[in-house]
Chains A and B, each alone.
Chain A
Amino acid sequence: MTAPRLKVSGLTLAVGTGAAGLTLLSELSLTLAPGASLALTGRSGSGKSSLLHCLGGLLTPQEGAVIWQPRGAAPVILSAAEEGARAAFRRQHLGFVFQFFHLVPTLTALENVAFMAELAGLGAPRERAEAMLEAMGLGDRCHAFPETLSGGEQQRVAVARALVHGPAAVLADEPTGNLDAQTAETVAEVLFTQTRAAGASLVLVTHDAALAAQADHTLALGGQ
């Protein structure tokens, strides 16, 4: 049997202290197989983004563990790792897609993608980025700066950036939340197709039921 790509056990996350404290996640456990996708849904404030951030080592849970099994490497308990080790893990084994793209405005589409490959310490970053953008259908927009790209194009560049270094998983926070329905559909298709093609797992946060339905698994948070 294949070891899960991600294992979360007994995860508890609270924000604030005392009377103002709020428990967002309580003793949550899950596993995700390599190449599988998981949609996190729920109403606003249910803790789905917080869970995604815990998975990415951006937030530290009070209890429980987030264990990643990267490709060809020993498992990593990310929730217990130090800040520097978490950053290193993210740049080598994870990819992120944000709702507002967050591309570097002074770098072209190609450079934005190549930058991630460079950050991960991979050779030939430019060639890798070119291939990735080509796969995203953006071969002719390589040298465009982000402000000249449409929202959908920017998000596809962001997906290319998330996959260029061959991560174990892609974490996407409302990846279509800032796009119109038609563009959202295109981006979702690219996201699922390319993630699967890269053999990476996908965890995405969304309010969009149609998008969530495309995932292999759905986890509804906040009592739903």
Chain B
Amino acid sequence: MSLLWRARWRALLREPGQSALLILSLALGVAVVVAVDLVNAASRSAMASASAQLQGASTHRIEGPGGGLSLDAYGALRRAWRAGTLLEGDAPVTGFAPLLEGRLTLPDGSPLRLLGIDPFSSLRQEGVGVGTEAPAAEAPGGGAQPVSWGQFLTSPGAALLSPSVGPELAPGDRLPLPGAPALTVLGRLPGTDADAAPLALAVVDLATAQEWLGATDRLSRVELALPEAPPRSVLRRGLERLFPGLLLPEVAPEVRLAPALRAAYPGLQLRSQRETELALGSLASAFQLNLAAMGLLALVVGLYLLYGALAYSVRRRLESFGRFRALGVAPAVLQRHVLLEAMIFAGLGALLGLLLGRFLAGGLLGLISATLEGLYDQVAIAALPLDWVPYGKGLVLALGGGLAVAWPLAREAGRAPLLPRAGRPPAQTGGRAGLAFALGLSLLALALLTMPSGYLGALLALAAILLAGAQGVGPVTALLLRGLNRLAAPLPLRLRLPLREASRGLGRAQLALAALVVALATAVGMTIMVTSFRLTVADWLEDRLDAPVLARGRALGAARGPLEEALEAARRDGLVSGWVWRQSVDDWLEGLPVRVTLLEAVGREAPVLRLGEPLARQLGRTEGGVVVWPGRLPGAEPLASYYRSYGGGRLDLEMPRPLWQGPAPTGAWGLAVYGAPEVVLPRLQAALPRSGELLAQGPVKARALAIFDRTFRVTAVLQTIAGVVAGVGLLSAFAALALDRRQQLSALRILGAPGPFAARQLLLEAGLLAGIAGLLALPLGALAAWVLCDAVNLRAFHWTLTLHWPPAAFFEALLLALGAGLLAALGPALQAWRAPTSEALEVLRAQG
């Protein structure tokens, strides 16, 4: 070890707590990035695995109007496929498989995806069937066992189950399902990585699925395998792995159905699987990008603290660097010295962060999975994949960030003046303050420029606003302290001293304070956004779920008659004033996946054609206009104003049932009944089909809000972690301030200042700085909330949120700042209080 290093090493050992806190704050930042990436990667992997399981080897799908496919159209497609004339230009098709997909419910209430397949089709991949060969299904013990297709076709309810469904069940066991016949376990689906994709899936014969889902006259779609699907570029795959949540559009040659088929069945649509994934995955993708952005925020806070600590350490040593230079040490050696020191901190922080990230990801898994499942209809994630990319990314970000923040400081060390300068070194030179001001203004300009340019632009604007705010913390705090100092002139010196010391300590603490301001502003912004969102959703639920009684079910069919009769009877008796039937059809409108809700009102205001807000915004029809939808609507239909909609998945619109000319809805239904629940519920219960459910309005709203709260729990957790990173930084900064003041306070102690005096000084100083940080975080947080509500949410999700300003969010932030500051200073303050005078003497002796 060189003597230069030995000297530095000894200095670091003298302040082990400072070094440990610095490493910890960086580690926490890296941990959040790694954890969010791991969970996002797990989610993507689960989605991909589930898609592979559902799609098999298919590359494209053919859907009919309304998201279904009539048996007539299917017959024509099959004949064309056999004749080799399915696609335009007779492009070859290597696989063709009909499929019916639907949902059932498991005994524990969780959803079970039901897939009806034709085992003799040529497309299903391993386990689901290829040609007429029996697939090698796995027994629960793990050994592969051949599945008898005879049994698959002939045993009633025979099903192949994914490993996550009733793992304790053995072949031959029965699995009862609420509202449907029981399943008989025939075997397990192999090739399913239970860790990556715990998709609850049951594969049954097509006819069985048609019967159970009440869809005997249709299929969901036909899946195709095209031989020359363009391989996705390495760069594209690499980018998507590096930034989970990023979905890049696919550029692929267009494949079209043969003209004859298009003419005979105008509603048929051929899409690539990737196109469908992109359309349905974009909302979840925005959510994942949000999480990744929060993770990066925590890392930026960590790097900010690293810069702050390094800057202080380098500037404190400038004189000794100058002496080394005077002795003949080359500037490059000093630069390497600073860079290496930063790399050691960043490396240790990164390594600890990778470990912490793995644990944190385990904790976040459930929360993020719940959100993706609940809000965006995505597949649940059960475990983390073995993926080195998030770890590598965390390491590179920490080391790269460390290098970036250390570079200017290394240059400063290399240029240290050979002779010490006389007088007090300014905490922030005029040039540096001007640079910070210019940077802050540039960031604000960037925010203004990028905000209107879409979702990513809005996120960038948010980051720019937060960073501009962080830049302003030092100068604004200095200005406030100067003003306070003037105001405090009549006060005793013991009360003015903390003000003066806070100004002096600002150079040391300002980056930690900036980190705290960013973390608090984010917390305030997120709290306001989530509160606004929650109140908006509550209002929306109030509006949408205005009926006191609600009923719903999977397939209506013949069940409608008895319910109608019961409702009519109740109306005659004056118990019910009216009701509205709702049935939905999944379809595509102008290239967007939509869910059409068909309304039939009795005794209520007649429904009109309206688009949900996300759809209206995507189609650019927020001001009204007309919708032209051949095959679905009779002509150019005028639009009423859009309605607010906060669902995920498909974009929604609603219209009167008679207006709809597409295929009859066969999926889920809902019924809103306007009457007193205590009398209506018993009347309807008897007429309700087996698969139906009757609910009072209250519990439905409560459940919806509970899902909402669960969805945002992960945001709160990440917010807390960013706050903890800032808190650790603050702890480190205030501990350093206390160290800097030891000599001065020791001298005062010897002069006769009582023990509590030093403690009070340290607490007042910390409270003052943290209080100012809290105050600065409030307007910045309000600005962040405005951007989050009016830009990010509107552009990412097309949701309009009514801004609410809960005073509690502001008070909490202020209290948090004060609490964090006082807590950070409490340790040094207590130490100063309890220390005997002889210790003060030792400090003076040691420091001269």
Residues in chain A within 8 A of chain B (CB atoms): 53, 56-59, 83-84, 86-92, 94, 96, 98, 100, 102, 104-107, 111, 114-116, 118-120, 125, 145, 147-148, 161
Contacts and interface: CB of A to CB of B under 8 A. Distances in A.
Given A87-B754, A119-B753, A148-B423, A106 B500 contact: yes
A94 B752 CA distance: 9
B751 A118 contact: no
A118 B752 contact: no
A87 B504 contact: no
A88 B493 contact: no
Contact of A83 (B748, B750, B755, B841): B755
B752 A102 contact: no
B504 A107 contact: no
A105 B751 CA distance: 16
Contact of A107 (B423, B500, B755): B500
Contacts of A87: 749, 752-755, 837
Interface string B823-844: 0000000000000111011001
Interface in B759-786: none
B751 A106 contact: no
Interface string B481-501: 000000000001110010011
Given A87-B749, A87-B754, A87-B755, A106 B497 contact: yes
8 contacts: A58-B837, A58-B838, A87-B749, A89-B752, A92-B752, A102-B844, A106-B501, A120-B752
Given A88-B752, A115-B493, A148-B423, A100 B848 contact: yes
A59 B493 contact: no
Nearest to B757: A119
B424 interface: yes
A98 B747 contact: yes
A53 to B, nearest CB: 6
B493 A107 contact: yes
Counting chain B CB atoms within 10 Å of each CB, the highest count among A56, A57, A104, A148 belongs to A104
A118 B752 CA distance: 11
A88 B501 CA distance: 24
Given A83-B836, A86-B837, A56 B750 contact: yes
A106 B494 contact: no
B151 interface: no
A106 B423 contact: no
Given A91-B753, A148-B423, A57 B837 contact: yes
B752 A90 contact: yes
A88 B844 CA distance: 20
Contact of A104 (B503, B748, B838, B840): B748
B155 interface: no
A1 to B, nearest CB: 30
Contacts of B497: 104, 106-107, 115
Given A98-B747, A104-B497, A119 B752 contact: yes
B751 A116 contact: yes
Given A105-B504, A147-B424, A91 B752 contact: yes
A90 B503 contact: no
Please report whether the interface of chain A is mostly helix, strand, loop or mixed according to DSSP. helix
Counting chain A CB atoms within 10 Å of each CB, the highest count among B752, B836, B840 belongs to B752
B276 interface: no
Contacts of B424: 105, 145, 147-148
B583 interface: no
B754 A84 contact: yes
B428 interface: no
Interface pairs A-B: 9 shortest CB-CB: A91-B752, A106-B500, A102-B747, A90-B752, A147-B424, A115-B493, A87-B754, A58-B837, A106-B504
B750 A90 contact: yes
Contacts of B661: none
Counting chain B CB atoms within 10 Å of each CB, the highest count among A86, A91, A125 belongs to A91
Nearest to A116: B751
B504 A88 contact: no
Contacts of A111: 493
Contacts of B500: 106-107
Contacts of B747: 98, 102
Contacts of B751: 90-91, 96, 116, 119, 161
A21 B99 CA distance: 92
Contact of B841 (A59, A115, A125): A59
Contacts of A58: 750, 837-838, 840-841
A147 B503 CA distance: 16
Nearest to B845: A49
Given A100-B848, A111-B493, A114-B493, A83 B752 contact: no
Contacts of A102: 743-744, 747, 844
A211 to B, nearest CB: 20
Nearest to A89: B752
A87 B841 CA distance: 13
A130 to B, nearest CB: 14
Given A104-B744, A107-B497, A118-B493, A96 B750 contact: yes
A111 B489 CA distance: 11
Nearest to B493: A115
A53 B845 CA distance: 12
Nearest to B841: A58
Given A58-B840, A102-B744, A104-B744, 4 more contacts: A102-B844, A107-B493, A118-B492, A148-B423
B744 A105 contact: yes
A88 B837 contact: no
A93 to B, nearest CB: 9
A125 B500 CA distance: 19
Nearest to A112: B493
Nearest to A95: B751
A120 B753 CA distance: 9
A57 B751 CA distance: 11
B754 to A, nearest CB: 5
Nearest to A60: B838
Contacts of A96: 750-751
Nearest to B744: A104
A71 to B, nearest CB: 16
Contact of A53 (B493, B501, B753, B841): B841
A116 B844 CA distance: 19
A88 B751 CA distance: 9
A111 B501 CA distance: 14
A180 B275 CA distance: 85
A88 B744 contact: no
Nearest to B505: A106
A119 B494 contact: yes
A56 B841 CA distance: 11
Contact of B494 (A57, A88, A94, A118): A118
B204 to A, nearest CB: 80
A158 to B, nearest CB: 10
Contacts of B504: 105-106
A56 B747 CA distance: 13
Contacts of B503: 106
A117 to B, nearest CB: 9
Contacts of A106: 497, 500-501, 503-504
B752 A59 contact: no
A209 B752 CA distance: 30
B64 to A, nearest CB: 80
Nearest to A93: B752
B444 to A, nearest CB: 33
